[in-house]
Amino acid sequence: MDPIQNLSSLGLALPSAAYLAGAILFGMLGYAAFRYGRKLSRPSFTWGGLALMLYPYGVSDTWLLWLLGVALCAAIFVADKWLASR
């Protein structure tokens, strides 16, 4: 029997290549931001990086993964610029 058909009958589906690429990309960006934030004591990078690493576990739609990933990346830099200007 076909293993993919067996998974489909159980209600499980494999993610698309675009989803996997986004999860890997935003996970790596999150890890880099987290390390950078810890090294320089910048909480916006630390917490934003942690959010970037963890949010793909809660998102199942590819378009939502990419939208939230770009939004979180933008939020990290906007928050850092705002905190630096204060």
pLDDT of residue 57: 92
pLDDT of residue 32: 96
Domain limits of the chain? 17-81
| Residue pair 3/9 in contact by the 8 Å Cβ criterion | no
What is the full DSSP assignment across 32-77? HHHHHHHHHT-HHHHHHHHHHHHGGGG---HHHHHHHHHHHHHHHH
Which one, of 84, 19, 77, lies nearest residue 48 by Cα?
77
Q: Is the pLDDT of residue 4 over 90?
A: no
Predicted TM-score of the model (pTM): 0.82
Q: Is the pLDDT of residue 84 over 70?
A: yes
76: left (phi over 0), alpha (psi -120 to 50) or beta: alpha
pLDDT digits (tens, 9 = 90+) for 14-43: 788 999 999 999 999 999 999 999 999 999
| Residue pair 80/37 in contact by the 8 Å Cβ criterion | no
